[in-house]
Amino acid sequence: MIMIVDYGMGNLRSVEKAFHKLGYSAQISSQPNDVKKAQGLVLPGVGAFKDCIENLKKMGLIESLVEFIHSGKPFLGICLGYQILFTESEEFGPCPGLGIFKGKVKRFPEDMPDPDAEKGGVLKVPHMGWNQIWIVKEHPVLEGIPSGSYFYFVHSYYVEPEDKAIIATETEYGIKFASSIAYENIFACQFHPEKSQRRGLKLLDNFAKLVYKKIRNV
């Protein structure tokens, strides 16, 4: 069973429907015991970093979430569910994350030149819409997805990992940033696969295949 974590912030139904469309069983839950028993876990999220951490604490999900991440079972973080894996975010002042990886979540600069605009134009924040991902590290979740594929983004903050070796894809929006990371059982991305049509469904299908492969090998 693929479990989608409900902590009051996230595009839950779209993620659930995407897995169902692909023919996989997926369930939404906010219960810590369900998180612990899941065979594959998806942590989606939209909104503010601090609110996300506070909601997870209030619902008693931090311990079960960290325990799952360290279990070796497939984990997928999406957008805010990617950002909170790191040490801290500068959103609304320093706020500690889960600390699974060392690194900071930073806001895009307000004065990034827009290469497609007339002289003096700047890129808008948030970064919203379709953009390319460039693969820098192969991973099963990215299998069959060509480097340069377009995915859908909505965010004002980006992750800056200390360990560059975990970066799986990069994207350019004024600056080059880590649009996904991969390490052992963990894959997490800034973009939204559930909103990214064919390529997004391929990524979710790859993740689900890892989950069921793990189940068969247990």
- Beta strand pairing call for 157-161 and 101-107: antiparallel
Is residue 218 pLDDT above 60, yes or no? Answer: no
What pLDDT sits at residue 119? Answer: 66
Active-site annotation, residues: 79, 192, 194
Average pLDDT, the chain: 94
Q: Per residue in 55-67, pLDDT tens? A: 999 999 999 999 9
> Within its chain, how far is the Cα of 189 from the centroid?
3
Question: What is the tens place of the pLDDT at every residue in 200-210?
Answer: 999 999 999 99
CA neighbours within 13 Å on the CB side: how many for 24?
Answer: 25
**Which pLDDT does position 82 carry in this prediction?**
97
What tens digit of pLDDT does each residue of 111-127 get?
898 887 766 689 999 99
CA distance 7 to 24: 22
Q: Is 212 helix (H, G, I), strand (E, B) or coil?
A: helix
pLDDT digits (tens, 9 = 90+) for 132-178: 999 999 999 999 999 999 999 999 999 999 999 999 999 999 999 99
Q: Please state whether the peptide bond connecting residue 126 to the residue before it is cis, i.e. omega within 30 degrees of 0.
A: yes
What was the pLDDT predicted at 181?
98
pLDDT tens column, 4-51 = 999 988 779 999 999 999 999 999 999 999 999 999 999 998 889 999
How far, in Å, CA of 62 to CA of 32, rounded? 8
pLDDT higher than threshold 90 for residue 190: yes
Topology of domain 2-217 in CATH is Rossmann fold (3.40.50)
Supply the angle between the helices 62-69 and 49-58 in degrees, to the nearest 10: 100
pLDDT at residue 98 in the model: 97
> Could you tell me the pTM of the whole model?
0.95
> Does residue 198 register a pLDDT over 70?
yes
Q: What is the pLDDT of residue 88?
A: 96
